[in-house]
């Protein structure tokens, strides 16, 4: 019989290879069913033998507990910027500078599409991904290893056990942005402006389990150092051999004429790609020639970026609509005279917020220039001619309910605070309540919720659980069978509801799925939360939540205030009366040498904090992002701040060094 360790490691490598074939080569060699069987066996082995779990396991791509902050990363070789050019003449001038620098020696060039994403640097040691960092200021970036590990196309283990540092770009397809923004708008959140904005926002999330749900991609285009290959063209081939994804459509040109030809070819070809590129990168191929050319303080002399100008069109503002989101945010949207732009007909453009609208001094009837930000989202760039009309401003009150709008301190957005009576917010909040990530009520979408509200059949989320087949069957496009399916879906949600799902579905400000799970683990039942906040007293619940790992001051205050509000308590009581009174299932007990142990890590250590966190969790421990009264150990590295040491003294937390953590992980008593 194969030993569990051998079977486990072989299975890890097999699944990673299937991931590479599927996500990098787009050529799966097994069926989804076969893959699922392998993955299920891997999970079984990890559950039975937690001591075997390795950091590069495919199961680790779902993310980890939230971090408190990103660790700064100093790099020995800075990530320089590229000089830009926008014309064939400027590209020719670059070529002539290269010729002069090489004293007449002829260079060959490698031309790559310049993916519009977020630059990263990856460090592999003995073939295993150890560190992933953002560009930052070039010299200092941030450790986002946990977030990068969630990207399916990025192998945590290379095909060869080499030490190598590579650089590249994390990005997102345009279609993925559309899906993400639709979900954000449904939840009352501001949509991302473009795929790059969405990618950057994803990498900056402290909770990698949320990042894992974002369809990020990665492309690696540069090896730091030239000890492995003699040329860039050979280096790219080597990266592919290691299993790393490289840019599509890369070509090698023997002369400037070939480069200029590719510039013309990509002018139209770039729009056929599913992701954004804002130009091409032209690089001298030979590493020896690169060393001769060198670099300035800001950019290499052997590479340049050719940028394409975004397409623009002229049109007229016909009207401005003020839409109300789930959280009450009021957002202006311009309706335009239809115009063709980048292959599509554009009829509307987002105006972001009222400060942006005021800066542009927009009026109904203005003739404006629009472009697609990131080739996907139309935006107004400038005004050609103002109309003889008043400047567009925010509405006098909420467009849905007329309530006075407010702007909270530190925020740009205007909000309608009338959340429980505003028709638009009620519809959006009920739709969100039914969402897959919330109560997961199938067959209940926006159009059905709108109908139900307009006909007075429901006034809040609790009314969903009193709907009958006969009522639903009389609605437009809803027959007897469809009505039965809706009622069954609602009843299924009532029976399978957990406290964490309900807390997420209620749409409490600042409370996402991860925070909801942490709160649910603490209270276990809705009844317990209502009991602690009885009488409208928010202080006790606030104090309790302050000690829950993963719940900060802002979230604690928001939840405590929600449960103290008499109107919300009435709604929750109504839900209980209709059979929605969920509890949170007990977690399987953690096993390992750190089972039941809570640890916080701070200061400069020999390994990235994310790696230590993974080791602690894999050993059955609980990782705290800050020191609380339940934290048993504080692992203090160099340059530990006074704040956490003071908290450790206050709570009686034992302070240990990294060697002490190593003893705990090994199941050895501290000396």
- Asked whether the whole model's pTM tops 0.85, one would answer no
pLDDT tens-digit readout, 140-168: 888 889 889 999 889 999 999 999 999 99
The confidence score (pLDDT) of residue 27 equals 62
Within a domain: residue 317?
yes
pLDDT tens-digit readout, 551-564: 778 888 999 999 99
Active site residue 114: yes
Instruction: Quote the crossing angle between the two packed helices 423-434 and 174-186, to the nearest 10°.
Output: 120
Residue 92 reports pLDDT greater than 90: yes
Domain boundary among 258, 282, 307: 307
Q: Binning pLDDT at 50, 70 and 90, where does residue 33 land?
A: low
What ranges in 413-463 are assigned the alpha helix state H? 423-434, 446-454
Query: Which CA distances in Å does 638 have to 143, 605, 657?
Result: 17, 7, 9
Yes or no: say if 356 and 331 are a contact pair by the CB < 8 Å rule: no
Split into its structural domains, the chain has a count of 6
| 142 shares its domain with 254 | yes
3-state secondary structure string across 546-572? HCCCCCCHHHHHHHHHHHHCHHHHHHH
- Planar angle of CA 364, 370, 373, nearest 5 degrees: 130
The confidence score (pLDDT) of residue 1 equals 52
Whole-number mean pLDDT of the chain? 86
Yes or no: say if 370 and 378 are a contact pair by the CB < 8 Å rule: yes
Kindly report which listed range (77-91, 294-308, 548-562, 612-626) carries the lowest average pLDDT score. 612-626
Yes or no: say if 79 and 138 are a contact pair by the CB < 8 Å rule: yes
The closest of 414, 413, 352, 412 to 377, measured between CA atoms, is 352
pLDDT tens-digit readout, 335-368: 999 988 866 788 988 787 788 888 889 999 999 9
Average pLDDT over residues 418-443: 89
| 140 shares its domain with 288 | yes
The confidence score (pLDDT) of residue 158 equals 93
pLDDT tens-digit readout, 626-658: 787 778 899 988 777 777 888 888 888 999 988
DSSP 36: H
Residue 62 reports pLDDT greater than 60: no
The confidence score (pLDDT) of residue 187 equals 60
Sequence-separated (6 or more) residues with CB below 8 Å from residue 371: 310, 311, 312, 313, 341, 378, 379, 381
| 122 shares its domain with 179 | yes
The closest of 612, 621, 630, 613 to 591, measured between CA atoms, is 621
Indicate the helix (H) or strand (E) that contains 336.
strand 329-341
The closest of 319, 441, 323, 482 to 392, measured between CA atoms, is 319
| 188 shares its domain with 135 | yes
CATH number of the domain encompassing residue 369? 2.40.50.140
Within a domain: residue 646?
yes
| 492 shares its domain with 504 | no
| 16 shares its domain with 157 | no
Query: Which CA distances in Å does 521 have to 332, 515, 623, 624?
Result: 40, 10, 15, 15
Q: Binning pLDDT at 50, 70 and 90, where does residue 64 land?
A: low
Query: Which CA distances in Å does 183 have to 192, 274, 446, 551?
Result: 11, 20, 12, 24
pLDDT tens-digit readout, 466-482: 999 999 999 988 888 99
Within a domain: residue 139?
yes
The confidence score (pLDDT) of residue 68 equals 46
Average pLDDT over residues 479-502: 92
Within a domain: residue 291?
yes
| 11 shares its domain with 123 | no
What 3-state DSSP class applies to 292? Answer: helix
Q: Count of H helices and E strands in the chain?
A: 24, 21
Residue 456 reports pLDDT greater than 60: yes
- As given in the structure block, the two tokens for residue 294 are 């060198």
Average pLDDT over residues 504-520: 85
Within a domain: residue 64?
no
| Euclidean distance between CA atoms 422 and 400, whole angstroms | 6
Indicate the helix (H) or strand (E) that contains 125.
strand 118-125
Domain around 329: 312-385
Within a domain: residue 21?
yes
| 137 shares its domain with 190 | yes
| Euclidean distance between CA atoms 148 and 140, whole angstroms | 18
Burial (Cβ within 10 Å: 0-12, 13-18, ≥19) of residue 35: middle
| 429 shares its domain with 504 | no
| 512 shares its domain with 523 | yes
Kindly report which listed range (175-179, 383-387, 617-621, 653-657) carries the lowest average pLDDT score. 617-621
Sequence-separated (6 or more) residues with CB below 8 Å from residue 100: none
- Across 312-335, b (16+ Cβ under 10 Å) vs e yields ebebbbeebebbbbbbbbbbbebe
| 292 shares its domain with 212 | yes
What ranges in 243-347 are assigned the alpha helix state H? 256-269, 287-293
Domain boundary among 330, 360, 385: 385
| Euclidean distance between CA atoms 594 and 589, whole angstroms | 12
Domain boundary among 496, 523, 541: 496
pLDDT tens-digit readout, 267-318: 888 888 889 888 999 999 999 999 999 988 778 999 999 988 777 889 999 9
What ranges in 475-603 are assigned the alpha helix state H? 480-496, 499-505, 513-523, 526-532, 539-546, 553-564, 566-577
Within a domain: residue 58?
no
Yes or no: say if 82 and 300 are a contact pair by the CB < 8 Å rule: yes
Q: Name the catalytic one among 72, 114, 283, 372.
A: 114
pLDDT tens-digit readout, 202-235: 888 877 778 888 899 999 999 998 777 899 999 9
CATH number of the domain encompassing residue 134? 3.30.470.30
- The rounded radius of gyration (Å) of the Cα atoms in the chain is 28
Yes or no: say if 169 and 218 are a contact pair by the CB < 8 Å rule: yes
| Cα dihedral 400, 404, 406, 412 sign | positive
| Euclidean distance between CA atoms 351 and 362, whole angstroms | 10
pLDDT tens-digit readout, 555-595: 889 999 999 999 999 999 999 999 999 999 887 677 788 88
Within a domain: residue 35?
yes
CATH number of the domain encompassing residue 541? 1.10.150.20
| 207 shares its domain with 247 | yes
């Amino acid at each position: 019989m194969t030993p569990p360790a051998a079977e486990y490691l072989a299975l890890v490598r097999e699944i990673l290879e299937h991931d590479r074939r599927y996500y990098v080569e787009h050529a799966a060699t097994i069926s989804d069913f076969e893959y699922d069987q392998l993955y299920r066996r891997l999970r079984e082995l990890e559950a039975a033998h937690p001591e075997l779990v390795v950091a590069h396991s495919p199961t680790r791509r779902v993310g980890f507990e939230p971090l408190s902050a990103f660790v700064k990363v100093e790099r020995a070789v800075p990530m320089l910027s590229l000089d830009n050019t926008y014309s064939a003449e400027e590209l020719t001038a670059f070529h002539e500078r290269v010729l002069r620098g090489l004293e007449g020696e002829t260079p060959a060039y490698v031309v790559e599409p310049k993916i519009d994403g977020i630059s990263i640097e990856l460090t592999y040691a003995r073939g295993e991904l150890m560190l992933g960092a953002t560009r930052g200021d070039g010299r200092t970036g941030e450790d986002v290893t946990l977030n990068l590990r969630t990207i399916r196309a990025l192998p945590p283990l290379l095909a060869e056990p080499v030490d190598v540092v590579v650089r590249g770009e994390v990005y997102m397809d345009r279609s993925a942005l559309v899906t993400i923004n639709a979900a954000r708008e449904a939840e009352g959140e501001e949509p991302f402006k473009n795929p790059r904005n969405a990618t950057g926002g994803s990498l900056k999330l402290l909770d990698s389990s949320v990042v894992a749900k974002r369809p990020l991609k990665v492309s690696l285009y540069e090896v730091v150092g030239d000890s492995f290959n003699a040329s860039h063209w050979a280096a790219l081939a080597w990266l592919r051999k290691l299993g790393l994804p490289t840019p599509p459509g890369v070509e090698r040109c023997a002369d400037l004429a070939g480069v200029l030809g590719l510039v013309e070819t990509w002018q139209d070809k770039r729009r056929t790609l599913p992701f954004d590129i804002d130009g091409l990168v032209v690089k001298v191929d030979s590493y020896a020639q690169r060393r001769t050319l060198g670099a300035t303080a800001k950019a290499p002399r052997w590479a340049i970026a050719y940028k394409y100008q975004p397409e623009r069109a002229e049109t007229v503002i016909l009207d401005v609509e003020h839409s109300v989101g789930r959280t009450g945010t009021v957002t202006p949207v311009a309706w335009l005279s239809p115009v063709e732009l980048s292959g599509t007909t554009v009829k509307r453009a987002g105006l972001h917020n009222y400060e942006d609208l005021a800066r542009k001094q927009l009026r109904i009837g203005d003739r404006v220039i629009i472009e697609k930000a990131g080739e996907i989202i139309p935006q107004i760039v400038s005004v050609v001619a103002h109309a003889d009309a008043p400047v567009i401003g925010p509405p006098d009150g909420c467009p849905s309910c007329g309530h006075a709008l407010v702007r909270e301190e530190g925020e740009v957005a205007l909000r309608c605070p009338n959340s429980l009576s505003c028709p638009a917010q009620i519809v959006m909040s009920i739709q969100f309540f039914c969402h897959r990530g919330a109560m997961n009520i199938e067959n209940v979408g926006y159009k059905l919720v709108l109908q139900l509200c307009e006909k007075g059949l429901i006034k809040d989320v609790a009314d969903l659980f009193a709907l009958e087949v006969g009522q639903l069957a009389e609605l437009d496009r809803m027959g007897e069978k469809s009505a039965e399916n809706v009622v069954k879906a609602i009843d299924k949600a009532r029976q399978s509801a957990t406290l964490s799902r309900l807390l997420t579905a209620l749409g409490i400000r600042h409370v996402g799925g991860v925070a909801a799970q942490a709160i649910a683990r603490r209270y276990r039942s809705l009844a317990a939360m209502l009991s602690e906040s009885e009488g409208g007293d928010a202080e006790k619940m606030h104090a309790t939540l302050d000690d829950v790992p993963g719940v900060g001051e802002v979230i604690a205050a928001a939840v405590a205030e929600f449960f103290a509000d008499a109107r919300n308590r009435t709604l929750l009581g109504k839900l209980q009366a209709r059979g929605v009174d969920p509890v949170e299932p007990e977690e399987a007990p953690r096993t390992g040498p750190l089972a039941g142990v809570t640890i916080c890590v701070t200061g400069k250590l020999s390994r990235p904090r994310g790696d230590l966190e993974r080791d602690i969790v894999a050993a059955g421990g609980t990782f705290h992002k800050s020191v609380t009264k339940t934290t048993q150990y504080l692992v203090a590295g160099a340059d530990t701040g006074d704040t956490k040491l003071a908290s450790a003294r206050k709570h009686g937390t034992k302070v240990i060094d990294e060697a002490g953590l190593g003893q705990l992980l090994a199941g050895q008593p501290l000396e």
